[in-house]
Amino acid sequence: MFARLTTSFEIMDKLDLVDRDMNMAKVYGIDYESVMTRGSQFRVEAILSKISKSCDYLLLSAGPQQVKDQNQLEVIPLVIEPDKQFYTDPVVVVDFQSLYPSLIIAYNLCYSTCLGKIEQTHSDRKLGVYRISPNIKTFFGHPLNHSLTPSEQAEIFDSIIIAPNLCCFLKPSIKVGLLPKMLREILNTRIMVKKSMKNYGKSSKIYKMLHARQLALKLIANVTYGYTAAGFSGRMPSVELADSVVSLGRQTIESALERINERESSVGTKVVYGDTDSLFILCQGASLEKAFEIGQSIAKEVTSLSPFPMELKFEKVYHPCVTLAKKRYCGWMYEKFGEEPQLEAKGIEIIRRDNCDALQQI
């Protein structure tokens, strides 16, 4: 029994479970047991409740039936189906860093700034879990059946952001949303923590503490969109908000894809695969060094055309690589020019004990 306990403690110590979860509890402001037993929604709500309280807001408490009666999610992330092909030319991989959190900040997407969808009919309209009364006959103080003058139209469109799914949100100049405020603070704090980590060795206790805290901040930022879209088990889901995030993500990827493919005649770049927030760009006839230059140039150009804090980051180059299907590819990966490549495989079993030796090695 003593040997079993010792082994268990050694595993926990090696994985740094206790210290990591203790630092997560401090970052989220919740008890240690909740970090171990509760899900990501509880963590998001712990931080969101503090920010909403400071702004004199109360979080929505929707009943199960209200959540069930919401409209259905309509928008799905963009995934480009790849060809089953072996590419001998370099393939550059670029990725939008923290795409959904960045979209929420850039376009001020929040429960507190959402005005609902532009719809043709005004009967039985919904906003989240609530039905909007058909007796509401005004929009920004103007009657719905009233023809707006050009100045009145300009006043409205200077105040709102319209997502591709036709959902409207207030601009930050009118009102800053709670979710953008929360995510901005989280991402800025994570940058500050990661800078502080450089001052300590990887074996020191302070480094491990800072690493656990930046990891906690990263996890909370990445699950915020999921909190708004959890229509089955969520406490505060909002279909309009979740669809707006995904539709803006699709629009962002599609515009980057068009811009990259426009360069095909001059530079020879072509998008051959894309998945939610990343793009695989084939550099036809380019050398490995040239592929690095092309990737960095594309990332810089797309970033300059995107609203802050959205950033397209150059990640790596595959040379050569194989694409089999969605989320299934492999290739020799170069993260920096001049370094030795590493074999990277996603969604593919490349080594199995029941394969022959030749297949295992090749």
Q: What is the pLDDT of residue 90?
A: 93
- pTM comes to 0.83
Amino acid symbol at 175: K
User: Would the pLDDT of 264 be above 70?
Assistant: no
From the CB of residue 110, how many other CB atoms can be counted at a distance below 10 Å?
A: 23
Q: Which residue in the block uniquely carries the two structure tokens 């200077």?
A: 158
Name which of 172, 94, 104 is nearest 309 in CA terms.
104
172 vs 361, more confident:
172
112 vs 202, more confident:
112
Number of residues that this document lists for the chain: 362
Q: What is the pLDDT of residue 250?
A: 93
Q: What is the pLDDT of residue 118?
A: 77
* H or E element, residue 106: helix 99-106
Question: Which phi and psi angles does 236 have, rounded to 5°?
Answer: -140, 55
pLDDT for 284-333, tens place per residue?
888 888 999 999 999 999 999 998 889 999 999 998 899 988 888 989 99
Q: What is the pLDDT of residue 144?
A: 53
Q: What is the pLDDT of residue 280?
A: 93
| Lowest-pLDDT range of 4-18, 91-105, 178-192, 208-222 | 4-18
Record the tokens describing residue 140, joined without a space. Answer: 């920004």
User: Would the pLDDT of 354 be above 80?
Assistant: no
3-state secondary structure (DSSP) of residue 218: helix
Q: How confident is the model at residue 182 (pLDDT cuts 50, 70, 90)?
A: very high
Mention the CATH class of domain 79-97+264-361: alpha beta
What's the mean pLDDT in 251-266?
83
What's the mean pLDDT in 88-98?
91
Q: What is the pLDDT of residue 23?
A: 86
Record the tokens describing residue 89, joined without a space. Answer: 């030319």
Q: What is the pLDDT of residue 54?
A: 87
Cβ(309)–Cβ(251) under 8 Å?
A: no
Cβ(347)–Cβ(355) under 8 Å?
A: no
pLDDT for 109-158, tens place per residue?
999 898 888 765 555 667 776 666 555 454 555 555 556 677 766 766 77
Question: Which phi and psi angles does 22 have, rounded to 5°?
Answer: -65, -40
| Whole-number Å distance between alpha carbons of 58 and 287 | 57
Which CATH number, 3.40.50, 2.70.98, 3.90.1600, 1.10.10, labels domain 2-69+177-237? 3.90.1600
Q: How confident is the model at residue 244 (pLDDT cuts 50, 70, 90)?
A: very high
User: Would the pLDDT of 97 be above 80?
Assistant: yes
17 vs 50, more confident:
50
| Comma-separated ranges of CATH 3.90.1600.10 domains in the chain | 79-97+264-361
User: Would the pLDDT of 279 be above 70?
Assistant: yes
Burial 326-335 (b: 16+ CB within 10 A, else e): eeebbbebbe
What's the mean pLDDT in 351-362?
68
First to last CA, the chain: 45
| DSSP class per residue in 341-360 | PEEEEES-----TTS-HHHH
Percent with pLDDT over 70 in the chain:
86
Average of per-residue pLDDT values in the chain: 83
The conformational region for residue 237 under phi > 0 = left, psi -120 to 50 = alpha, else beta, is beta
